[in-house]
Each structure stands twice: as structure tokens, then as C-alpha cells.
Amino acid sequence: MQFSDFPTFLKESSVFSDAELQLLLTTDQLPSDREIDAIRDEPEVYDLLNAFIGDENSRTIHLQLYAKELLKNNQVLQAWKVILL
């Protein structure tokens, strides 16, 4: 994957460091829609999705912060699933 393949919102995000973006680039294939949908039921993600109903900007930032924590634990694929929600 190349940086140019990133969604615009990810390229413009102020949440991720350059090192974290580089880690995201190590992914050969993005998760499927089914995999992304499945992560919605995980407690942390479920809580974030419901905590910011009606405030898309805050929801996006908090999901990215959670993805950042996943990256710290080298859970790159999980981080992608959260980012792409």
C-alpha cells in the first residue's frame, strides 16, 4: 500500500504520527466490509459509536484515537477496521 492510497480523511488526520501512518502502510490488503462491520460489536467500538451520535467529528476523532492505541499494540489490521468504520 502507498500513502496515496489512504483515504483523504486519514491523510489529513492530526491524530496519527508519521510513524503510525508508516505502520498502516505495511498492510497488504485492507479488511473487507464484512470484517469492518463485525468490529462494531466489540465493546470499546460499540461504546464509541454510541457515545457520539449526532457528532460525527468527535466520533471520528475518538475512533482514530482508539485505532492509535491498537497501533501501539501492533494490531494494525484491527486499527484499519476501526479507521474505516
- DSSP string covering 5-49: GS-HHHHT-SSS-HHHHHHHHT-SSPPPHHHHHHGGGSHHHHHHH
pLDDT of residue 29: 87
pTM over 0.85: yes
Q: What is the pLDDT of residues 17-76, one digit of tens each?
A: 989 999 999 988 889 999 999 999 999 999 998 888 888 888 999 999 999 999 999 999
pLDDT of residue 12: 87
* Sign of the torsion angle spanned by Cα atoms 48, 14, 79, 28: positive
Q: Is the pLDDT of residue 1 over 80?
A: no
